[in-house]
Homo-oligomer: A and B are copies of this chain.
Amino acid sequence: MNVVLSRDSQVRAMENTVTNAERYFGQFCSLLASYTRKTARLRDKADQLVKQLMDFANTENPELRATMKDFAEDLAKVQDYRQAEVERLEAKVISPLKLYGAQIKQTRADIKKCKRVQNNEIKQLEKLEKLRQKSPSDRQMISQAETSAQRASVDTNRSTHHLAETVDAFQEQKLKDLRRIFSDFVTIEMVFHAKAVEVYSSAFRTLESYDLERDLQDFRAKMHGTYGHSEARPLTDTSPSLSVPWPLASQSVPSTTAHQGKDEEESEADSVEEIPLEDLKGQQQGRRD
């Protein structure tokens, strides 16, 4: 096998190693950054739910209020852990993967330099060959060209050797980083999920211990309080009052009715029904079975 061809295929193999690393590490980096962003969005959505649960709790009776607040606080805790997950993924997974961009650029520059040196050797050898064919008797010129070709060959050997060492170190670093980065990824995820299990267990107990009967009694007491002594009585009992001049109650009644207008009613009812669950179903299509 010709030594120049051998060196060429050697450089090509090294180039493939770097190109491959570049391609896949780039993909890993971009996908994991996107995964982290989507995790952040999930956290944002859950934070909104926490807020609504808190608001809702404040409109309810003490029993349900306490339960809902505890539950919302647990849900908020999970989001705090999710936030820690996001920050750790950024620092220990995405940042190191991003550093690969710089490292790969440097190795690529080394390969380019090595190729330039290789090409120079080829040029010198071609020049020498031409001289030998055109002026086989010009010993001085041929001797000069031989010296140049020899020098170029020494340069190529040195450069290829240096590149082999660089790529070897690059590969070793790549394997170490790969193991470390994905181990960190798994650890970060594992810690988050373990914390979530812990917090949700507490949330489950909170919901289990909610005393619905007591809450319902509160509600009934409150409704009766609002009714005053308004046990549904037949009109005959109250008919004497009819002879008393009717106060201007009618003025206050329509204003209440107007406040609970039809538009408001309908738009709220719609908001419950307009949830675009179709989107979700669409996303599930094409899922592997």
CB-CB nearest 3 A-B residue pairs: A101-B272, A161-B232, A153-B235
Evaluate contact between B30 and A271: CB separation under 8 angstroms. yes
Q: Say yes or no: is A32 at the interface (Cβ < 8 Å to chain B).
A: yes
Query: How many chain copies does the complex carry?
Result: 2
Nearest CB of B to A84, in Å: 11
Q: Which of A126-181 contact B (CB under 8 A)?
A: 126, 128-129, 132, 146, 149-150, 153-154, 157-158, 160-161, 164, 167-168, 171-172, 175-176, 178-179
Chain B residues lying within 8 Å of A13, measured Cβ to Cβ, are 222-223, 226
* Beyond known contacts A83-B284, A149-B242, A164-B227: 18 more, CB 8 A cutoff: A2-B247, A3-B238, A10-B227, A10-B230, A13-B226, A28-B56, A31-B52, A37-B279, A98-B273, A101-B269, A150-B242, A154-B234, A154-B235, A168-B219, A182-B207, A193-B194, A194-B197, A197-B197
How far in angstroms is the closest Cβ of chain B from A60?
Answer: 8
Interface presence of A66 (CB below 8 A): no
Is there an interface contact between B187 and A193, defined as CB atoms closer than 8 Å?
no
Given contacts A4-B249, A226-B9, is CB(A269)–CB(B190) below 8 Å?
no
Question: How far does the alpha carbon of A80 sit from the alpha carbon of B72 in the complex, in Å?
Answer: 27
Residues from chain B with a CB closer than 8 A to the CB of A125 are: 242, 246
When each residue 188-199 of chain A gets 1 if its CB lies under 8 Å from chain B and 0 otherwise, what string results? 011001101100
A–B complex contacts, Cβ < 8 Å, 23 sampled: A4-B249, A7-B230, A8-B253, A13-B226, A14-B223, A30-B271, A30-B272, A31-B45, A38-B41, A44-B283, A64-B178, A83-B287, A87-B284, A104-B272, A115-B257, A119-B253, A122-B249, A128-B246, A129-B246, A158-B232, A172-B216, A175-B212, A187-B204
Chain A interface size, under 10 / 10 to 19 / 20 to 34 / 35 or more: 35 or more
CA distance A284 to B236 in the complex (A): 67
Tell whether A25 pairs with B230 under 8 Å between CB atoms, given A4-B249, A164-B223, A183-B204. no
State whether A33 and B275 are in contact (beta carbons under 8 Å apart), knowing that A200-B190, A201-B190 are contacts in the complex. yes
Instruction: Give 1 or 0 for each of A87-100: 1 = CB within 8 Å of chain B CB.
Output: 10010001001101
Which of chain B's residues have a CB closer than 8 A to the CB of A53? 28
Q: Is the interface of A mostly helix, strand, loop or mixed?
A: helix
Residues 223-255 of chain A, each 1 if its beta carbon lies under 8 Å from chain B, else 0:
100111110111110110110011101101100
Assuming the A-B contacts A201-B190, A216-B171, A227-B10, are A49 and B35 also in contact, with contact meaning beta carbons closer than 8 angstroms in the complex?
Answer: yes
A19-39 residues at the B interface, CB under 8 angstroms: 19-20, 22-39
Instruction: Knowing A150-B239, A260-B15, say if A275 contacts B94 (CB, 8 Å).
Output: yes
